Amino acid sequence: MARAAKPTELTEVSEAQIAVHWKEEEYYQPSEQFKAQAIMRDARVFERFSLDKFPDCFKAYADMLTWFEPYRTVLDTSNAPFWKWFVGGKINASYNCIDRHLKQYGNKAAFIFVPEPEGERDVSITYQELHDRVNETAALLRSLGLKAGDRVTLHMPMVPELPITMLACARLGVIHSQVFGGFSGQACGSRIQDSGSRVLITMDSYWRNGTLVDHKANADIAVRTAEELGQHVDNVLVWQRYPGKYSAKTPMVPGRDSFVNDLLKEHKGKQVEPVALPSEGPLFLMYSSGTTGKPKGVQHGIAGYLAYVTATSKWVLDIHPEDIYWCMADIGWITGHSYIVYGPLANAATGVLYEGVPTFPDAGRPWRIAERLRVNIFHTAPTAIRMLRKLGPQEPRKHKYHFKSMTTVGEPIEPEAWRWYYDEVGKGEAVVTDTWWMTETGGFLATTMPAIHAMKPGSCGPAAPGIHPVIYDETGAEVTKGSGKAGNICIRNPWPGIMQTVWGDPDRYVKTYYAKYNKNPKSKDWRDWPFMCGDGAVQAADGYYRILGRVDDVINVAGHRLGTKEIESACLTVPEVAEAAVVPVQDEVKGRVPEVYIAVKPGVQASQDIVDRVIKANEEVIGKIARPKHVYIVPDMPKTRSGKIMRRVLAAISNRRDVGDVTTLANPDVVEQIRTMVQGKEAITAKQEALPEDIAKFGQIE
């Protein structure tokens, strides 16, 4: 709970107040050409969304949707902080993303699917075709007895069948829980269990980096894992990457597994009325890592979420129905849900869906696709930008595409990488929006409005309309703009895109996002419930925010949140491992990668075999994305006298920094032994740049 800061406390430098030293970057202005065509170019929008106009200002977002029945209350706070948006209304997300466009855009592509093999043809899916396929799939799901409120887990790659399945669920009110296709079978299984899904929808295979991956194998592991955890799966529905042909080696399990394409034959041409669902009905779950080992099922509701992503797709991404929009992210993460599927489709966009790896077969691939399909809005993450820059800095120049707008999302972008994105990828013509937000927030929190604000490399910009951030220090005192101090960024007010709860664990929702700064747990007034985002941030004098990274135990690998506890518990599945500690290490391309320290049980000999099995355990329990860069077997973990592992010390060693004062540890000698093992004999003397905030502060809150 927050305390009022006493004057004496302000003279101390608290952890969250560590001064941030960074160079102010210069501004870049949007072109007149961009401004002239932009949907939102009126700076007065911020007056319309000022805090005194809250929450009614968000009616404008609800008006962008088509309602079966109008809502009565904009925001219901009676069960704060479980916010209910647009209460009393009846709506359907699938109808808003498809049916309402048919008359005007039925023959326009909703998606253009680009397979990874370059020899394979693009597949264009019009809104009419999307409608037909979603209806047939919804008919199939309904025939299995699925109805509004049931959960279904999806574990699918980047193929059109993924949005088709999501929209089929949405049509019925079935809550989809898509697990990132790159996650392991086990990770999928534990999410099946948590969500209580009795149906798993997957695909036999998909292309990744030139290999046709057997993805069905993961389904068997997922079902077994869920079963062990107490959740039975009745049906595994398997889409075929090549319809009519099975492209995986793993056998189908009779009675449990069936091919979607076979079952669909019975539902050909069927129409399913979109169910008129209550505004606050849940639309989907998206599991996200947090401070404890167990990922949280972040629950998003239908109307609020859809209104928010629709409006931000229109005003920030500036998607017009005539544009060709490409978000090169995976639908399995929140970015894909909000800004490949729901937001763009609600705006009748034409979106590119790319199956594979951006650098396959070479770093020119994205630019060839952009030129061929005349993409004019491009959206990706800093990790992809860094990779494409490293492997093909000159490649964009060779291609005749023109972007009007580009987005970056997922982690802070270095001004260097930003400038390459702007100069080379955007050819100095495209505006860049650096959009800061997270799974829990549904859509953008801070970003420039591209036709209104100047860009500043490395800063996401001011808050989006109707979002009113505040930075608090550890004591609950406000950190003022221009002070050069960092703190915990919170949002003062709820907004339509905010999560509804943590699936099955409402206490965790309150504790994680509100407990720290809420002064009155009984309050029904939204003003008492600032939402704590979990990021450290600093606000410059011009009002722009710079995000420093997570303040919880989360490592952001290539823009994807991995919980340190999840990784550590994966390591502990290797029987010889007694203790494990994971720390983030700076990486040129991925931003951060995990490095693992383990201590083995007494009597166990350290060996390469154990290292290999620890790596494998991470790949199996979480996925390849969690693969540690190094695994060090250490004689003992550096510990405080009370026995806590000092991850901060290990993070300093891994990042080649001075470990600071360790004399108060229970076992200070082990620190030098570990340091030598990792860094070599030579002590580091060279002058060093300060560590980025997220690493510098990592493990300090033990």
Q: Which is nearer to ligand WTA, 274 or 282 (CB)?
A: 282
Least distance from C-beta 664 to ligand WTA, angstroms? Answer: 31
Q: DSSP alpha helices (H): ranges in 291-333?
A: 302-315
The answer to whether 55 and 75 have CB atoms below 8 angstroms apart is yes
Q: Which is nearer to ligand WTA, 550 or 675 (CB)?
A: 550
Q: Which is nearer to ligand WTA, 343 or 410 (CB)?
A: 410
Q: Quick check: 178 binds ligand WTA (CB under 6 A)?
A: no
Least distance from C-beta 303 to ligand WTA, angstroms? Answer: 21
Q: Which is nearer to ligand WTA, 161 or 535 (CB)?
A: 535
Give the one residue of 460, 633, 659, 662 binding ligand WTA; rule: CB under 6 A: 460
Angle among Cα 621, 625, 629 to the nearest 5 degrees reads 100
Query: Which is it for strands 296-301 and 199-203: parallel, antiparallel or unpaired?
Result: unpaired
Least distance from C-beta 685 to ligand WTA, angstroms? Answer: 33
Angle among Cα 465, 439, 430 to the nearest 5 degrees reads 55
Q: Quick check: 299 binds ligand WTA (CB under 6 A)?
A: no
Residues whose CB falls within 8 Å of the CB of residue 358, separated by 6 or more in sequence, listed in order: 328, 365, 366, 380, 384, 387, 388
Q: Output the DSSP codes for 361-429.
A: S-TTHHHHHHHHHT--EEEE-HHHHHHHHHH-TTGGGGS----SEEEEESS---HHHHHHIIIIISTTT
Q: Which is nearer to ligand WTA, 86 or 418 (CB)?
A: 418
Give the one residue of 30, 290, 410, 699 binding ligand WTA; rule: CB under 6 A: 410
The answer to whether 319 and 75 have CB atoms below 8 angstroms apart is no
Least distance from C-beta 626 to ligand WTA, angstroms? Answer: 14
**Rg of the chain over all Cα atoms, to the nearest angstrom:** 25
SS (H, E, C) 426-444: CCCCCEEEEEECCHHHCCC
Q: Quick check: 433 binds ligand WTA (CB under 6 A)?
A: no
Residues whose CB falls within 8 Å of the CB of residue 240, separated by 6 or more in sequence, listed in order: 203, 204, 246, 247, 259, 260, 261
Q: Which is nearer to ligand WTA, 218 or 488 (CB)?
A: 488
Q: Which is nearer to ligand WTA, 17 or 408 (CB)?
A: 408
Could you identify the residue written with the tokens 């062990």? 228
Q: Quick check: 594 binds ligand WTA (CB under 6 A)?
A: no
Q: Which is nearer to ligand WTA, 460 or 626 (CB)?
A: 460
Q: Quick check: 161 binds ligand WTA (CB under 6 A)?
A: no
Q: Quick check: 453 binds ligand WTA (CB under 6 A)?
A: no
Is it true that the peptide bond before 602 is cis, omega within 30 degrees of 0?
Answer: no
Give the one residue of 220, 323, 330, 411 binding ligand WTA; rule: CB under 6 A: 411
Q: Which is nearer to ligand WTA, 354 or 513 (CB)?
A: 513
Classify 139 as helix, strand or coil.
Answer: helix
Cα torsion through 565, 567, 570, 575, rounded to 10: -90
Phi-psi region of 484 (alpha: psi -120 to 50; beta: other; left: phi over 0): left
Q: Which is nearer to ligand WTA, 75 or 547 (CB)?
A: 547
Print the binding letters for residues 273-292 with ligand WTA: x by CB under 6 A, - otherwise: ---------------x----
The answer to whether 110 and 324 have CB atoms below 8 angstroms apart is no
Least distance from C-beta 433 to ligand WTA, angstroms? Answer: 9
By CB under 6 A, how many residues form the interface with ligand WTA?
22
Q: Which span sits near ligand WTA by CB under 6 A: 29-37, 83-91, 396-404, 435-443?
A: 435-443
Q: Quick check: 535 binds ligand WTA (CB under 6 A)?
A: yes
Q: Quick check: 618 binds ligand WTA (CB under 6 A)?
A: no
Q: Quick check: 295 binds ligand WTA (CB under 6 A)?
A: no
- In order of 151, 443, 524, 693, the CA distances from 197 in angstroms are 5, 26, 33, 39
Q: Which span sits near ligand WTA by CB under 6 A: 263-271, 430-438, 490-498, 657-665?
A: 430-438
Least distance from C-beta 381 to ligand WTA, angstroms? Answer: 8
Q: Output the DSSP codes for 81-116.
A: TS-EEEET-EE-HHHHHTGGGHHHHTTSEEEEEE-S
Least distance from C-beta 20 to ligand WTA, angstroms? Answer: 14
- In order of 372, 438, 452, 511, the CA distances from 506 in angstroms are 48, 19, 39, 9
Q: Which span sits near ligand WTA by CB under 6 A: 5-13, 318-326, 364-372, 403-411?
A: 403-411
Least distance from C-beta 561 to ligand WTA, angstroms? Answer: 5
Q: Which is nearer to ligand WTA, 414 or 528 (CB)?
A: 414
Alpha carbons 295 and 566: distance in angstroms, whole number: 8
Could you identify the residue written with the tokens 């980096």? 209
Alpha carbons 254 and 266: distance in angstroms, whole number: 19
Least distance from C-beta 410 to ligand WTA, angstroms? Answer: 5
Window 636 to 695, contacts with ligand WTA (CB under 6 A): none
Q: Which span sits near ligand WTA by CB under 6 A: 73-81, 318-326, 396-404, 432-440?
A: 432-440
Print the binding letters for residues 314-353 with ligand WTA: x by CB under 6 A, - otherwise: -------------------xxx------------------
Give the one residue of 260, 272, 316, 438 binding ligand WTA; rule: CB under 6 A: 438
Least distance from C-beta 565 to ligand WTA, angstroms? Answer: 17
Per-residue exposure over 80-90, b if at least 16 CB sit within 10 Å of its own CB, e if not: bbbbbbbbebb
- In order of 122, 468, 612, 649, the CA distances from 486 in angstroms are 47, 17, 40, 22
Q: Which span sits near ligand WTA by CB under 6 A: 188-196, 490-498, 544-552, 626-634?
A: 544-552
Instruction: Select from 370, 411, 359, 389 the least CA-distant residue to 584.
Output: 411
Give the one residue of 312, 518, 539, 556 binding ligand WTA; rule: CB under 6 A: 556
Q: Quick check: 549 binds ligand WTA (CB under 6 A)?
A: yes
Amino acid letter for position 187: A
Give the one residue of 561, 647, 648, 697 binding ligand WTA; rule: CB under 6 A: 561
Q: Which is nearer to ligand WTA, 203 or 547 (CB)?
A: 547
Q: Which is nearer to ligand WTA, 204 or 434 (CB)?
A: 434
Q: Which is nearer to ligand WTA, 396 or 591 (CB)?
A: 591
Alpha carbons 81 and 401: distance in angstroms, whole number: 46
Where along the sequence are the contacts to ligand WTA (CB under 6 A)? 288, 333-335, 409-412, 434-439, 460, 534-535, 547, 549-550, 556, 561
